[in-house]
Homo-oligomer: A and B are copies of this chain.
């Protein structure tokens, strides 16, 4: 069944080393030999066993892709970007679906057992420590959507969440809203903490806060329902995520409020769905394509030189205006 090096060598009338070299770019082989090998390989349908190769080269070409939110459509885009970006670089994504799991130990062991060349952790919900434990295990690691700092313990690519909070507050104030609300994700997540910090910094006493259980539609809806029940409503809300925004809007509409006429909503992410014409969410856009590129670029650098000191790379958000806020005065 399996066509091996030895078989090709025999057919081409050369040694196994010669065949190996023929398949190694830059190796010392006479063009004629290489041609003969290639011919034989072609005829036999040979292609090298990458796992056997990995045993000596210590490079598998596999990169762990660790994800944990499968209920937020934005992750489908992120998936797409990562898998294609990896493929473009000749790397294979080995998926790790965390769903529920919060202990990194098993995932670390797994990726080590498969000798992954690197790992990208894509999550805004996990603490940075999660990603750090991959790095601690000696695997080049980049964390996407984590918390950035001046001297991070692990490489991070993210937006400046504090600044995003400020931007949202400014956008709302510029549109004449004076009582502002923030509907975050879970309280423990750094993204939510940071966005709130920036939001509150700009909005000051005009800001009020409510967390939701999750970055999901249902959680956003429930949070807004709670807000509706609690009395003191804001005039406009910054939701920490598009999907939370949509849940919130749904709750508002259910209660008879119109968006944006009665209450304004601004989200964060600008996932594909936010632009669907029956949604039309005004939102802060995360530059996902750029972020993914930055992650992979850094990962490749790290794979080449694992000794690099960790950096945080923070990309800027931009406002995507649609129809859930009233216009600027």
Chain A residues at the B interface, C-beta cutoff of 8 Å:
1, 47-52, 54-55, 60, 62, 65, 70-71, 73, 75-77, 79-80, 83-84, 87, 92-95, 97, 99, 109-110, 112-115, 138, 217, 221, 246-247, 249-250, 253-254, 272-273, 276-278
Contacts and interface: CB of A to CB of B under 8 A. Distances in A.
| Stoichiometry, copies per complex | 2
B97 A95 contact: no
B278 A246 contact: yes
Pairs of residues from A and B, 10 with the lowest C-beta to C-beta distance, nearest first: A70-B80, A83-B97, A250-B278, A93-B95, A73-B73, A76-B76, A50-B113, A51-B51, A250-B277, A217-B276
B48 A276 contact: no
Given A1-B138, A276-B250, A92 B77 contact: no
Contacts of A115: 49-51
A74 B226 CA distance: 29
Contact of A113 (B47, B71, B83, B217): B47
Given A70-B76, A94-B92, A246 B276 contact: yes
Nearest to A278: B250
B95 A65 contact: yes
Contacts of A254: 277
A109 B86 CA distance: 17
16 contacts: A1-B138, A48-B113, A49-B115, A50-B113, A70-B76, A70-B79, A73-B73, A73-B76, A80-B99, A92-B95, A93-B94, A246-B278, A250-B276, A250-B278, A254-B277, A273-B273
Q: Which of A62, A65, A70, A273 has the most CB of B within 10 A?
A: A70
A52 B49 contact: no
A94 B96 CA distance: 10
A51 to B, nearest CB: 5
A71 B278 contact: no
Contacts of A99: 80, 84
B114 A50 contact: yes
Given A51-B60, A87-B97, A93-B95, 4 more contacts: A62-B94, A83-B95, A217-B276, A250-B276
Contacts of A273: 73, 217, 273
A51 B50 CA distance: 10
A109 B48 CA distance: 10
Contacts of A221: 277
B97 A94 contact: no
Q: Which of A47, A249, A278 has the most CB of B within 10 A?
A: A278
Given A51-B51, A217-B276, A250-B278, A92 B73 contact: no
